Amino acid sequence: MDQVLGQVLRNAVWERLDMLSDLATRADAQSLVSVARSELPRLTEGWRAMLQAHEPDERGDCPTCSTRWHKCKAPCSVWQVAHEHLVAGGLAPQQTAATQRVPGQTRVSPAETTGRHALVNPRRPAITA
């Protein structure tokens, strides 16, 4: 059950990101201003909450990424991605949604979906690109 709930939550987040990307590329100026006013504060708070969870401890380890047996030194991958997208993004080459790869994200074949981000049958392995 936890796996299904996790997939439902992930799908909802991917759908929301897709919707915002679509709005950013297709909406008129007035709609963009409205979306920016409502969504930018939510997105920045989301980044802040995620980054707070990955703040290094007194030893310089990321408490979220570290395990008992493997310590992850700061900056962890979450901070690196945040810097890449929020600070250095203008310097990095831009990728289209079709070529963009997110670590840990699986790609599924059309036969395994019933929608844009449909549930994946947990008994069948996802096809990764």
3-state SS, one letter per residue, for the chain:
CHHHHHHHHHHHHHHHHHHHHHHHHHCCHHHHHHHHHHHHHHHHHHHHHHHHHCCCCCCCECCCCCCCCCCCECCCHHHHHHHHHHCCCCCCCCCCCCCCCCCCCCCCCHHHCCCCCCCCCCCCCCCCC
pTM, full prediction:
0.64
- Tens digits of residue pLDDT in 44-80: 999 999 999 999 999 999 999 999 999 999 999 999 9
Residue boundaries of the structural domains of the chain? 1-40
**Which of the four pLDDT bands, split at 50, 70 and 90, describes residue 89?**
confident
